[in-house]
Structure 1
Amino acid sequence: MSTSAGPRLLGPAEVRLLAAELDLRPTKQRGQNFVIDPNTVRRIVRESGITGDDVVVEVGPGLGSLTLALLEVAARVTAIEVDPLLAGRLPATIAEFAPDRADRCEVVLADAMRVAELPGPAPTALVANLPYNVSVPVLLHLLALLPSLERGLVMVQSEVADRLAAKPGSKVYGVPSVKAAWFADVRRAGAIGRNVFWPAPNVDSGLVAWTRREPPTTAVPRERVFEVVDAAFAQRRKALRGVLRGLAGSGEAASAALEAAGIDPLARGESLTIHDFVRIAEGLE
């Protein structure tokens, strides 16, 4: 009696055969670097912590390397792909390499930055090798769009991974760090070498894991808090009293709001937590 061995995964030979069939020339514009190492995609799935109950969103599935590994574990995968050529080929790849799981995957031809809704059951996890040129905007957009997401793991450029997971006071702490912290507890989850990609990128890669948490406030809209964050880091070497003058209407009003929030008007944005920014936004209101 035979049992299913699960999906076959893509290695270097399979990736190059698929690319040749499609006459595919990966573009930097779309951040196309395809994973050719089965151990890497299995590691990503393992580190993500997804289970057989999870509905997973994947962004930029490309030729399907990570998609097939996700289908080994997840209950369902919704793959968002902006390239019509790749989106059109992916169902056939899944049918060939994971025939008994093909009905668990739905491919959505869309720009993840502009997608407004997804088909099927509400997703519980986001696991993706994000296009590096738009990784932060895509991540923040999906966290805002899909409140059902409970956790995730994304592969991004190493420096971006550092920024997303940075804490106040760090040299790389900035807008991505604060905005990601609105939605989730974020941590670095490892590094990925360049040789697992085709073509090999000219930057190092890192894994970022996150777990959803409740918003830090409901008293002011998220957009208002993010306005304060953007202003604070637009001139990150300047004191908050000066950079918030435009939002407050005057330097005096900015100082009053900061003092009401318990923040030194001469402090800088790089020293503040997401909760500090919330208190400032509430003071400005």
Structure 2
Amino acid sequence: MPDANSSAGPRLLGPAEVRSLAAELDIRPTKQKGQNFVIDANTCRRIVRESGIGPEDVVLEIGPGLGSLTLAMLETARQVVAVEIDDKLAAALPTTIQEYAPQQAASFHVIHADALRIDSLPDPQPTALVANLPYNVSVPVLLHMMTLLPTLERGLVMVQSEVADRLAAPPGSKVYGVPSVKAAWFADVRRAGAIGRNVFWPAPNVDSGLVAWTRREPPATSATREQVFAVVDAAFAQRRKTLRATLKNLAGSSQAAEQALAHAGVDPMARGEVLGVEQFARVAEGLFCTPDANETDDA
């Protein structure tokens, strides 16, 4: 157990500490369960540094696990709020923080919940999201939090490398798709580096990447976010087909789809992968918000 008087700052977790905590909790991480704990303190410090969080930030962390990244963030942030779905991990986190960061323990709060089911957070509202996201739900969790918490100004998340590529992809890229467009609705997104497999225990079968984002205003449009996202989902449901074809069912007819695309100034023979989020917003306007769209809906 660390000496509470040894330092004013948190003591970070290394391989021995992570394995010891897991043993105490009788946790045997497996790749099948998606449990991969960060065991490298320098990686945690790097994530905090790249995130740009400061002493005024209230940071939201999803999936804190044993607390490796949590402790690193407590070195810098005003407060860390962690959402953990696992019963054992959620119950153990406050004790771990008290032992390894006694002087910062009052700045930590854990919420035992499924991040995808959370509909509110206690004040003060978070200003940043920094997390090693569970890879199987990383995109839904990120988009849910961006939607739920307009106070989030920026973030840095670690996800599977291919997912990081998709989130940060520009229009026209081979990996550009639904995650790219929906993330762009909320923020400017960029790749912020790669993470090696050897910093995890157990080592995952996939490479990891960092994605950084900064909140920006969504496109100016009379369409709602839900309407724009419905267009995005339809456009990428069949990537090889033209927008005229993919939007036919959503619009009600090929003619209505063409009218909506004309409203946006988009070639009906184009594919969704070439449109930016602003163009998708204009298409949604054409589908849902123009007089012609209303006539089609009433027909």
Superposition TM-score, scaled by structure 1 size: 0.98
Alignment of 1:194-233 (within 5 A): 194-233=197-236
Name the CA distance, whole Å, in 2 between partners of 1:226 and 1:59. Answer: 24
Q: Give the residue type in structure 2 aligned to 1:269.
A: G
Question: Residue 138 of structure 1: which of 133, 141, 147 is its match?
Answer: 141
Alignment root-mean-square deviation, CA? 1.2
Name the counterpart of 1:184: 187
Identity of aligned residues (%): 75
Partners of 1:33 and 1:108 lie apart in 2 by: 20
Q: Which residue of 1 aligns with 2:245?
A: 242
Aligned with 1:113: secondary structure?
helix
Offset at residue 31 of structure 1 (A)? 2.5
- Structure 1 residue 120: Cα displacement: 2.7
The alpha carbon displacement at 1:13 in A equals 0.1
* 1:88 partnered with 2:91: yes
1:156 is the counterpart of 2:159 = yes
Gaps of 5+ in 1: none
Matched AA of 2:212:
A
When residues 92 and 3 of structure 1 are mapped into structure 2, their CA distance, relative to the original with a 3 A threshold, is closer
- Give 1:64's aligned residue: 67
Q: How does 1:5-24 map to 2 (within 5 A)?
A: 5-24=8-27
Q: What SS does the corresponding residue of 2:115 show, helix, strand or coil?
A: coil
- Provide structure 2 residue ranges, at least 5 long, that are not aligned to the other structure: 289-299
Shift of 1:25: 1.8
Q: Does 1:129 align with 2:132?
A: yes
Decide whether the 8 Å contact of 2:260 with 2:287 is kept in 1.
yes
Q: Secondary structure at the match of 2:131?
A: strand
Match of 1:38 in 2: 41
- 1:26 maps to which residue? 29
Query: Does residue 277 of structure 2 align to residue 274 of structure 1?
Result: yes
**Could you tell me how far 1:28 is from its partner in structure 2?**
4.4
| Residue 265 (str. 1) matches residue 247 (str. 2) | no
Q: Deviations over 1:8-61 (max 9, x none)?
A: 000000000001111102244653210000000000000000000000000000
Aligned with residue 55 of structure 1, among 55, 58, 68? 58
Count of residue pairs brought into register by the alignment = 284
2:176 counterpart of 1:173? yes
User: Which one is further off, 216-225 or 43-52?
Assistant: 216-225
Aligned partner of 1:187: which letter?
Answer: R
DSSP 3-state at the match of 2:45: helix
Looking at structure 1, the residues matched to 123 and 200 of structure 2 have their Cα atoms a distance apart, in angstroms, of 31
CA contact under 8 A between 1:58 and 1:67: conserved in structure 2?
yes
